[in-house]
Each structure stands twice: as C-alpha cells, then as structure tokens.
A and B are shown apart, each in its own frame.
Chain A
Amino acid sequence: MADFSQLREAVLTGNAPAAVAAARQALDAGVDPVELVNQAISPAMEEVGRLYEAGEYFVPELLLAARATKEVFQLIRPLLAQKDIPPAARVVLGTVQGDLHDIGKNLVGAMLEGGGFEVIDLGVNVPPEKFILAVEEKQAQIVGLSALLTTTMPAMKKTLDVFRTAGIRGRIKVMIGGAPITQSYADSIGADAYGENAAAAVAIARKLAGR
C-alpha cells in the first residue's frame, strides 16, 4: 500500500499546495485514485472532524482542510469520471426564500466539497421552485436548506410542502440547519435530517447518500 502520510499531513494542516503536490506524486506513481480517496483523503477529513469535535480545531482550520481536499478532488474527479465512478452525491444547497443569510450555508458547502460532494449552491432567498429546477437539472440526491431567523424558518416547511406537491420529495433527502433550527423543528416539518454545524453536515450527507 502506498505511503499517504504526506498527503494526510497536508490535509490536516490545510496546506492545499502540498496536498495537491502529494496527490499528484501518488497518481504519477500509479496509485489508484479510489484508493487515494479511501486511504488518505477520507481518513484525513474524518480526523479533521474529530479534532473539531474535540475542540482542538476551529472553523477556520476546517475550512482550510476542506479547501485542500477540494483541490485534490479537482485533480482526481476527471480520473474517477473516466472510470465511471460518480461523486459521493450531488447536493443542492440554498438559503430559503425571504432570508439573505449566506455564511452558514457557504461553510456547509465548502465542507461538503471537501468531503467529495458536488455542491450546487443556489445562493440566498431561494424560492422552492428554484430548488426543484436544480434537483431535476442536476439529478441531485440531497437538498440542504439554511435559515437565520425564526421568522424565515417557516419557509423551510413551505419548501418541503412544494417538494411534496411537485412529486419530488420521495426522490431526495432533505437536511436543514441554521441558528434557530433544532432537531425537533426538523422532525416537525418532516425533514430527513438536522445538522448543527458544517462538520456535522458532511457526516449527515454521507448517511443520507447511503455511503
């Protein structure tokens, strides 16, 4: 088995150029890209998540690590595509209608990309119909909804209702998050999952994608 210690170290310290260099070196030496993901990238990102949960890493370190893996994924995605291996899953992400809060959703998006997901970010103030269009067009499996205030939260329920009416609810998994959101709110509107923070979002998306 190849020695991935350099690559893992580069991811852990959020050093994108070093991570890309180490990945390129491994690929040039004939390492299978799938093995590279499974043996190096995924375990390194899991470790980053653990360090965050343990309070040793903070959000900036998460983002830097995610950025390093995102760049490695950019390198290997074409190789995976050649082998017909799809990305972990496609996630459509957006802040619900009436709400303009961007940053929480962006962090979730950055972490998901670092986790190997393909993210379609629709931005803020997204009407339900726009989510549906993106799901159809990109064949996305997961939708992530974000909201900042208790007064914009109800738009999540409305979005889910429109998904049901449009007949796409059964095809997608929906996860929600944001400062005022709780697990019980997620349950009450029939979302599939609630994520407390961006690190949790990745683990949840994996579960929802069945991986």
Chain B
Amino acid sequence: MSPARNDPKHVTGADRIPPAGETLPRLTIALQVADILRSLGYPREATPPARVVRSTEKILAEARPWLQPRGTYSLYAVTRQTAHSLEIGGATIAGNIGEFLHGADRIAVFMVTAGSEITRRAEACSRAGDAFAGLALDAIGSWAAEAAAEALMEQLNSQLRPGESFTMRYSPGYCGMNLRQQRTLFKLAPAKSVGISLLPSLLMQPLKSISGIVGLGPREIVGIHLSPCERCPQVGCHMRR
C-alpha cells in the first residue's frame, strides 16, 4: 500500500474501518454528447438543432484532456443513528438521515472533483464573448463531476460484502442537510488529497466538486429507494431524473 493512501490526522476514531480511506487519483469517466446536451437543457425527447449537436461534439472532444476526475473516500462504522442524526468517526452529521441512510451500518464519506482546468477554460470562453462554448464547457464540467461520483461508487463496490448494497447518496445542501455539514464532512474525508478545499462561504473549490455520504448495509433494508429527485423541491430543474 502506498503512503499516499492517506490517513487524515484529524480522524482518530477506532471505528474507522481499514482500508480506512482510498484516494483515487484518476477516475475513469464516460461522457456522451447526449449527456452534455441534457445538461444544456434539452430534455431527452427533444431534438437539438444539428448545429448545436455538432458544436457540442467538437467542444467535448477538445475538453476531454481538461478533465481531471479524482475522488477520495473514507469508510466509517456507524456508531449511532437516529432519524435526524448520524454519528461516525466521533462526529455527528445532522439531516434527514433516516430517510436517506436507513439500515446502513457503514458510511463512506466521499469527495469527487472534475478539477479546475475545465472551469478556467469555460470562463476564458465566456470572457472572450463565446457564451455558448462557455456554457457547454461548464456543462461538461458539471457532468464530469457527476460522472466522477458514479465512478467512485463503482470503486466502492469493492467494499460491499455479500448481500449488501448502497443507500442513496446524500450531500450537504440537499433535502434537509444544511450546507454547514460540509465542515464535518471535510473533517472526515481527506479532501486535500484530491485538491478540494472548502471556502468560508462553504463553497468548494474547484467548483466542479461534489461531497457526500453514502451508506452500506444489508440489501433487504437499504436497497429500496426512490430517485433522490423525488424528494427535491426544485421541480423545474433540468437535471431532474
């Protein structure tokens, strides 16, 4: 095991499960033009103009090397769980815990990012007056962050025991988990190892980053869940699934 497999110093709890955490320096993500078109606002059933499709294809091809999908997670045993709070690694996380993490006996605290290069490029395009390319690159960055989270989940598969599965993913800022919980998550996972930092406004840098928790537990208890969008009040959201 390389020393880069970090063990964040501020986490001392004995309930941290070995392998305690894993830093994934290069996640493999798959990005399709169709996904980006969805992020640009086209619903699945819409037919975007050929010109838009062509430019999006071109921009995506160019943007691939600018994506640096990375992620990290730390795994903890649940020491206490109620409907609205979760205790792991000596820290307490508040939110709609019961609804999202019911039945989990272990929790992975994760952080993923698409890196900052893509945002730099998007900004440069917008500043140069090419609002469409700026928007497309921004959408590619958002999608890459989402894809990085999916790829991290794939890696987490190795932590599942026979008969187990995941709960829904749950992130600060969503559905009853206050953004303040970001501070706790940043204590529990080695965000720095993948270059993510938390600003005083609780915004993560790079912008195209996602933090969250996901539970692992017996399939018959944790396995049944709806899309998280079912619980979200942003009904007009173009990313609604």
Contact = CB atoms under 8 A, between A and B. Distances in A.
Contact of B203 (A60, A61, A152): A152
A107 B138 CA distance: 11
A103 B200 contact: no
Contact of B131 (A58, A107, A148, A151): A107
Contacts of B132: 60, 63-64, 67
A66 B52 contact: no
A102 interface: yes
Given A58-B41, A106-B131, A151 B179 contact: yes
B200 A102 contact: no
A21 interface: no
A99 interface: yes
Given A100-B203, A149-B173, A151-B201, A59 B122 contact: no
A98 interface: yes
Contacts of A45: none
Given A61-B49, A61-B52, A107 B135 contact: yes
B203 A148 contact: yes
Contact of B42 (A58, A98, A101): A58
B202 A60 contact: no
A152 B200 CA distance: 10
Interface string B197-211: 001111101010000
A58 B42 CA distance: 7
B4 interface: no
Q: B-side binding surface: helix, strand, loop or mixed?
A: loop
Contacts of B122: 102-103
Given A59-B40, A60-B52, A106 B207 contact: no
B203 A149 contact: yes
Nearest to B119: A102
Interface in A90-112: 98-103, 106-107, 109-110
B103 interface: no
Interface in B114-136: 119, 122-123, 126, 129, 131-132, 134-136
Interface of A: 14, 58-61, 63-64, 66-67, 70, 98-103, 106-107, 109-110, 148-152, 155, 179
27 contacts: A58-B40, A59-B40, A59-B135, A60-B40, A60-B48, A60-B135, A64-B51, A64-B52, A98-B199, A98-B203, A99-B203, A100-B199, A100-B203, A100-B207, A101-B203, A102-B123, A102-B126, A102-B138, A103-B134, A103-B135, A106-B134, A148-B203, A150-B179, A151-B179, A152-B203, A155-B201, A179-B234
Interface of B: 40-42, 46, 48-49, 51-52, 119, 122-123, 126, 129, 131-132, 134-136, 138, 173, 179, 199-203, 205, 207, 234
